Amino acid sequence: MALTDLKVRNVKPNGKVIKISDGEGLYLQVQPNGTKLWRLAYRFLGKQKTLAIGTYPEISLQEARERKMEARKLLAQGIDPSEHKKDQIRAAKLASGQTFKAVAKEFLAKCEAKGYAKDTLDKKKWILNDLVIPVLGHRPIADIRPSEILELLSDIEASGRLETAKRVRQTIGAVFRLAALTDRAPGDPTPVLRGQIRAPRVTSYPAIVRPDEFGELMRRISTIRSTIVRLALEFQAHTFTRPIEIRFATWDEIDLETSVWTIPAERMKKRRPHDVPLVPATRQVLREVRKYTGRSHGLIFHSPQNPNKPLSENTLNKNIWALGYKGRHCSHGFRSSASTILNESKKYDKDVIEFQLAHLVGSETRRAYNRAQWWDQRVQMMHDWADMIAEMRERAAYRGSNTTIHPVSG
């Protein structure tokens, strides 16, 4: 006898599996826990098989009968309904992994696994999650055309964010290259978009590069009231490292016995660890920091308000600008200052300066060889640079002094 909605609804479990037929192989299976399942019994190629249709009441009696008829049509065409269902599930899973959003999420996961710096990873997440995925995320990545990407870039360009538009194009291209490598897209369509968006105006970090002006800058830095900010800027000026490398520096990276500060790869722009020689001037700064903060662990140059948070780059820049250097110098500018002054001195091999700046020089083999070869030269250069800073600062102090200097007789 065929089932009715009332009978399906009222059937109760009895501690055993109950099977109630509706005809033509369709039956309701009631589990001991009360769960009600629709099943279809059929034969395919001489074998008895069962197709799982779904649960009641999510699948009503009428819907179960309709799916039974669909399965019988497949059987009439020589298609196994169970295998057909598995194929559909596989296709759905494959399709869900072929959208731009799915590939973009994989791309971000790979970036994180590779140890990208937090700032870099955050920028990529922002570009993809906030700018690209809301527009292209739902589209199968293989179907996205250059014109669609151009429209997105043009909207960003129209808002005046030219550098952002450039980075969006680069990031979209990286996602497409991952899709191409995994056979989910025929290739990267972004190269044809080069030149279609106005190039951003390249602006370098403002930096004081004349020795006399740099000496005056260092003299003024010594007057900063915030001890931790002053010491952080002193340390950066002497090591000419990037702001992020200074701000997140921790005491466990410092080896005072061997006079080396080892910056880990995840904080370096080129994803390689970098050794910075410590000289008397930089060791003195570290001693002053430790004396001031009373800490020998965690962040070295932490926020004055919270020892578990680093100084912000904005804080460093604002203190420099408060000295009268807004638009003339910034925290990142110490790198250009040191590079220019050291190169113009003609005392040091250009490659030694570039290596100390953590710019990669030459081939991988040459870099590996020169790292050891140049260490003594780099140590000497950092000693000399500290002496140069002291001399430039003293000259600036002398020039700014109103004291008359009288020759000593006898």
Catalytic residues: 242, 269, 332, 335, 359, 369
Give the Cα separation of 119 and 104 in Å (integer).
Answer: 18
Distance between alpha carbon 188 and the CA centroid of its chain, in Å?
A: 21
Two structure tokens written together for 283: 């060791």
The one-letter amino acid code at 56 reads Y
Tokens for 276, please give them. Answer: 């910075």
Q: At what angle do helices 146-158 and 162-181 cross, to 10 degrees?
A: 160
Question: Cα(18)–Cα(12) distance, rounded to whole angstroms?
Answer: 9
Q: Is the dihedral of CA 211, 216, 219, 223 positive or negative?
A: negative
Q: Which residues of 257-280 are buried (b: 16+ CB within 10 A; e: fewer)?
A: eebebebbeebbeeeeebbbbbbe
Taking the C-alpha atoms of residue 352 and residue 380, their distance in angstroms, rounded to an integer, is: 11
Distances (CA, A) of 250 to 30, 255, 285, 310: 63, 11, 14, 10
The CA angle 268-367-262, to the nearest 5 degrees, is 40
